[in-house]
Amino acid sequence: MFFQPKLLKTFAGYNQTLFIKDLLAGLTVGIVALPLAMAFAIASGLKPEAGIFTGIIAGGLISLLGGSRVQIGGPAGAFIVIVYGIVERYGVSNLLVATAMSGVFLILMGAFRLGTLVRFIPIAVIIGFTNGIAFLIGLSQIKDFFGLQIEKMPAHFFQAVQALYLAADTFNPTALAVACGSLSIIIFWRLFQKHLGFLHHIPGTVIAMIFATVFTSLLDLPIDTIGSRFGGIPSSLPSFEWIPVSWDTAQYMVTPALTLALLGAIESLLCARIADGLIHDRHDSNQELMAQGFANIVTPFFGGMPATGTIARTVTNVESGASTPIAGIVHALTLLAIVLFAAPLAKNIPLASLAAILMYVAWNMGEWKKFIDIKQFRLPYRITILSVFLLTVILDLTVAVQVGLLLAFITFIYRISSLSRCEIAEANIYPALNNLQGRIDAYRIYGAIFFGAVKLLEKIEENLPSQTLLLDLKNVIYVDSSGMDTISELAHLCKVRNIKLIICGLDHQPYEMAGRSGFLEKLPQDCLYPDLISGIKAATAS
């Protein structure tokens, strides 16, 4: 079927035992998602409810329509840097437009079965921009971690560093103490989580937020909270509102929307692959992309932000016993229940604690060990990963990915072309070639004849024999249009110089390419042989 959510396949054999497991897992993940959703929204320059509404609506839709059994969708840390930049440059209304447009792109990617293409993005590019985003998330949280008095953090790296430097003398010791205390609780809980009995399912981020909120309320600490900065979060259902579209600026949202779509696709499919390994199942990548697309189209109309699959919440879901998308739907309903019945309690959540949570998320999000082990890799890999990282930090993710893909492309072309080679068929291996030097030249070509390796045939053109040229293409696995043009030019040159061209071993893809290009029609019937020995016999007999 073209559109078949994974949920439909889970009803067969579904029973009360599985439902209870999914229910408990969904409740756990819903509690886990609360502080993360608010923290991601605040760090993105939005109100905390934007993250919660996204978790409710997008999280429910992704589980309802997705191609993975256990993936949890919602706001993600990877989007923080991009969303913050869009909000600062274009405003919240245009962020909603870009989010909806990214949803359309994701649906098209899924409809055209492009889900598998995301896997072709080199790991060096993924690690580079992931570490860059993690670094920027940590940088953006220094303000609230230290309680600095900065009216608005700039989106660009150098301006952000300057703003932090200028405000260094305004740091709040109380905020720093709350942040350090929260971070200590998170780390302690992670180290000893397995020894905490029935509490081990609850992550340290939730415990840290609860402790910080209680202490801030009881001691009336002089630090910024959700209530003091945002007035709390609404205790009502998100309402539907048409997105205000300014057609003068909507045209500039195409590039940000493509960036959101590409990053969302990468994040969700990477997360789905990790989930597959945990539950020994296989997700439908194209169905997952379409579900992500629908979620990102709908969510902006309820004041939400971009959504994708989230690794931390998905892993928590699996570890809590989830086996079907029902757990993801329960997670969304849990967030909804928290908003309806416990929203007033959120006003005392200190921003310093949320900053500590995001610092922890950023640290775990980055693959820092890859930087430590970078000397083990080849120079092109090192250049790619460091270039993408630095460009993500200093410029933006779009430029970083473009440059990274270009570097990876150049490296790939160089390596593949270096694997292609051309050898002269030696007379000691083929005795029939004895005493025929200068009249008959035989070459064996290996690898691929494509635009990066056409120089192999160009070298043959410079040393053409007087009578016959034999080309053994038995070991050629691929020929592109540029390679076929070069072979055609060589054939034409042989015809002009009255040199007989014999091609041997043309098979599979090269044979198909030769047929589609019309080369076989131009080649005389006595010029095509199955192998080099047959070609040599035909050349010496003529």
What's CA 184's distance to the chain center, in Å? 31
Of residues 535 and 153, the one with the higher pLDDT is 153
Report the predicted TM-score, pTM, of the whole model to 2 decimal places.
0.84
Instruction: Name the DSSP class of 377.
Output: S
* Cβ neighbours around 144 below 10 Å, total: 29
Distance CA 269, CA 278 (A): 14
Q: Are 357 and 145 in contact (CB under 8 A)?
A: no
- Residue 261 corresponds to which amino acid? A
**pLDDT exceeds 80 at position 199:** no
DSSP string over 121-171: S-HHHHHHHHHHHHHHHHHHTHHHHTT---SS--SSHHHHHHHHHHTGGG-
**pLDDT exceeds 90 at position 529:** no
SS3 479: strand
Q: Are 305 and 264 in contact (CB under 8 A)?
A: no
Q: What was the pLDDT predicted at 142? A: 95
Residue 44: CB partners within 8 Å, gap ≥ 6? 50, 51, 75, 79, 80, 83, 84, 87, 305
Q: Are 325 and 10 in contact (CB under 8 A)?
A: yes
Per-domain residue ranges of the chain: 17-136+225-350, 374-417, 421-541
pLDDT digits (tens, 9 = 90+) for 220-264: 999 999 999 998 888 887 889 998 877 777 788 999 999 999 999
pLDDT digits (tens, 9 = 90+) for 85-122: 999 989 999 999 999 999 999 999 999 988 887 778 88
Q: Are 83 and 77 in contact (CB under 8 A)?
A: no
Which tokens hold the place of 212?
A: 């910080």
Mean pLDDT rounded to a whole number for the chain = 89
Could you tell me which of 468, 419, 427 has the C-alpha nearest to residue 445? 419
Q: Are 48 and 226 in contact (CB under 8 A)?
A: yes
In this prediction, residue 306 has a pLDDT band, given cuts at 50, 70 and 90, of very high
Return the CATH fold of 421-541.
Transcription Regulator spoIIAA (3.30.750)
Residue 525: CB partners within 8 Å, gap ≥ 6? none
Distance CA 400, CA 406 (A): 10
Average pLDDT over residues 30-40: 92
**pLDDT exceeds 70 at position 438:** no
Residue position matching structure tokens 């690898």: 447
Average pLDDT over residues 171-191: 93
Kindly tell me the sign of the dihedral angle through the C-alpha atoms of 375, 360, 35, 226. Answer: negative
Of residues 12 and 307, the one with the higher pLDDT is 307
